[in-house]
């Protein structure tokens, strides 16, 4: 497979040489000078929209899956996994899907849920490994959705708040009683922390060509508080579970390529920012890549944080058995936990976490559709002309030194710069996460976005699911995304339809 990728890069070098200076930086310590030149050439922005680019259909390189498009398309393994590795993937799949129960239970090694929690399984939030669902926009038809949760913080700064904030040991200052996250479920004998309520206000946006769109602006509140009053200045950040595909490849993008996006000429004055966060394993400050504000550095740490905060399960990275229970919740801290000494010190021991990480890093990205379709190509050109590519950087070649063999030296098309950007007041939550402030969000990858509702018919978009269509998601862009958003508003109806057609092909 390595020879195949090298051949791809060599074949593309001559055609793209004129654009080479605008792409990959010289900081790739994993590449020879010859390979660096090839990488620069193939990752240069295209200027030809008359046909699909070479290898564009295989948007995750050799890991791309070409399985039949159906509701399980986000649950396929990387196509280049060995038989032995696929066995590990399947074990991880079982762990990702299984429901955890409260302790003590006869099903040992599956107990320890909570005591406070948001969901019983990973799959409950990441529906079929895709996006989660929000409570319905119609108050009379709202399901009991668990994929949308509320992060909590209070607005003290490092100079007058928690001493661990300044060195970055913690990402935010939690609410003193309710912690960093509202848990809306609890084990028997314990009250839940509260119930999230959402009120939506329609906002009409006029579009060129006589069209209009109605956005639904959410307002969040918390009812039925189970542990007394919450601080009045508590900041609330809604977070919807994102899709799981391609995570290992995103982790394998060379850091130099991500940091090069900061200084690149992006037009419209757009400058992204890296979120430097703490690696829980080493204690070092490293580049954040995952979650909605790039607040986690690795898939393994993101997964362990979800086990802790969402399900109240201890792992080697976050060994507290009581999840997000605080000192102000003594009943919670007195409940039994599920750690079994013969399995390990934690409720989810290291071996099980390894299986979950293997699964989470090898959920395959589906093959592109209709890349040579005239309307898709027209929409791609509009995507570039609107300067959406300033943040949604189309392509990379992953590191030769990636941790997993499946992810090494692959040409991928995730459409993200992996940086955080100020997205304007309408999308602001006021909650900082590491060095990302309350107006900043990580640029989400776009690969697979056109199959979102194939996987979950109830899925919606943006960090809190407020956008019911891809066009609505674009129209919510502010801050760094405002110029591109305004260009979309000014398009003709036919052009907007082509733009959406391109996004649906990803």
Tally Cβ neighbours within 10 Å of residue 295: 25
Q: What's the pLDDT tens digit per position in 98-116?
A: 999 999 988 778 899 999 9
Q: What's the pLDDT tens digit per position in 47-60?
A: 999 999 999 999 99
Q: What's the pLDDT tens digit per position in 323-349?
A: 999 999 999 999 999 998 888 899 999
- What gap in Å lies between CA 223 and CA 41, rounded to an integer? 55
What's the whole-number mean pLDDT along residues 413-428? 98
What's the whole-number mean pLDDT along residues 13-34? 58
Quick check: is 87 in a domain?
Answer: yes
- Please give the sequence-ordered ranges of beta strands (E in DSSP) within 22-157, or none if there are none: 116-117, 148-153
Cβ contacts of 2 within 8 Å, gap of 6 or more = 408, 409
What's the whole-number mean pLDDT along residues 429-448? 94
Domain around 42: 33-505
Average pLDDT, the chain: 91
Cβ contacts of 318 within 8 Å, gap of 6 or more = 280, 304, 305, 307, 308
Q: Is the model's pLDDT at 2 over the cut of 80?
A: no
Quick check: is 5 in a domain?
Answer: no
Q: Is the model's pLDDT at 9 over the cut of 50?
A: no
Total number of domains constituting the chain:
1
Q: What's the pLDDT tens digit per position in 349-390?
A: 999 999 999 999 999 999 999 999 999 999 999 999 999 999
Q: Is the model's pLDDT at 10 over the cut of 50?
A: no
3-state SS class at 185: strand
Quick check: is 195 in a domain?
Answer: yes
Share of the chain above pLDDT 70, in %: 90
- What gap in Å lies between CA 46 and CA 302, rounded to an integer? 34
Quick check: is 75 in a domain?
Answer: yes
The whole-number pLDDT of residue 6 equals 40
Torsions phi, psi for 223 (to 5 deg): -110, 165
Q: What's the pLDDT tens digit per position in 160-213?
A: 455 555 545 567 789 999 999 999 999 999 999 999 999 999 999 999 999 999
Quick check: is 17 in a domain?
Answer: no
Quick check: is 20 in a domain?
Answer: no
Are 322 and 115 a contacting pair, CB within 8 Å?
Answer: yes
Quick check: is 99 in a domain?
Answer: yes
Quick check: is 378 in a domain?
Answer: yes
């Amino acid at each position: 497979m390595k020879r195949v990728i090298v051949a791809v890069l060599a074949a593309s070098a001559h055609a793209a040489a004129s654009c080479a200076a605008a792409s990959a930086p010289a900081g790739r310590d994993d590449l020879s000078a010859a390979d660096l030149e090839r990488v620069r050439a193939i990752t240069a922005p295209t200027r030809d929209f008359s046909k699909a680019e070479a290898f564009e259909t295989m948007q995750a390189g050799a890991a791309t899956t070409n399985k039949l498009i159906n509701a399980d398309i986000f649950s396929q393994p990387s196509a280049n996994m060995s038989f032995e590795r696929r066995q590990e993937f399947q074990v991880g799949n079982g762990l990702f899907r299984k429901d955890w129960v409260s302790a003590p239970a006869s099903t040992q090694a599956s107990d320890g849920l909570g005591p406070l929690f948001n969901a019983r399984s990973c799959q409950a939030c990441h529906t079929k490994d895709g996006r989660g669902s929000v409570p319905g926009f119609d108050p009379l038809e709202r399901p009991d959705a668990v994929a949308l949760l509320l992060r909590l913080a209070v607005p003290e700064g490092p100079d007058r708040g928690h001493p661990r904030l300044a060195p970055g040991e913690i990402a935010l200052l939690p609410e003193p009683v309710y912690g960093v996250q509202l848990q809306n479920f609890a084990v028997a004998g314990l009250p839940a922390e509260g119930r999230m309520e959402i009120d939506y206000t329609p906002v009409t946006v006029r579009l060129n060509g006589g069209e209009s769109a109605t956005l639904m602006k959410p307002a969040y509140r918390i009812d039925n508080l189970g542990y007394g009053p919450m601080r009045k200045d508590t900041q609330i950040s809604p977070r919807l579970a994102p899709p799981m595909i391609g995570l290992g490849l995103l982790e394998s993008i060379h850091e130099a390529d991500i940091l090069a996006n900061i200084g690149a000429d992006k037009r419209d004055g757009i400058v992204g920012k890296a979120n430097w966060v703490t690696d829980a394993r080493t204690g070092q400050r490293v580049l954040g890549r995952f979650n909605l504000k790039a607040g986690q550095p690795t898939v393994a740490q993101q997964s362990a944080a979800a086990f802790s905060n969402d399900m109240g399960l201890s792992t080697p990275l976050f060994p507290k058995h009581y999840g997000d229970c605080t000192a102000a919740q003594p009943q919670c801290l007195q409940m039994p936990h599920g750690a079994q000494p013969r399995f390990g010190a934690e409720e989810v021991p290291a071996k099980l976490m390894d299986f979950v990480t293997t699964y989470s890093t090898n959920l395959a990205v589906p093959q592109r559709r209709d890349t040579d379709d005239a309307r898709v190509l027209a929409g791609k050109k509009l995507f570039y002309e609107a300067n959406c590519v300033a943040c949604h950087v189309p392509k990379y070649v992953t590191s030769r030194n990636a941790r997993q063999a499946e992810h090494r030296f692959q040409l991928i098309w995730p459409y993200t710069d992996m940086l955080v950007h100020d997205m304007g007041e309408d999308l602001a939550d006021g909650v900082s996460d590491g060095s990302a402030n309350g107006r900043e969000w990580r640029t989400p990858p776009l690969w697979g976005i056109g199959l979102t509702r194939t996987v979950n018919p109830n899925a919606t978009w943006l960090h809190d699911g407020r956008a019911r269509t891809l066009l609505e998601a674009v129209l919510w862009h502010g801050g760094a995304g405002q110029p591109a958003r305004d260009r979309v508003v000014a398009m003709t109806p036919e052009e907007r339809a082509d733009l959406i057609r391109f996004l649906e092909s990803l």
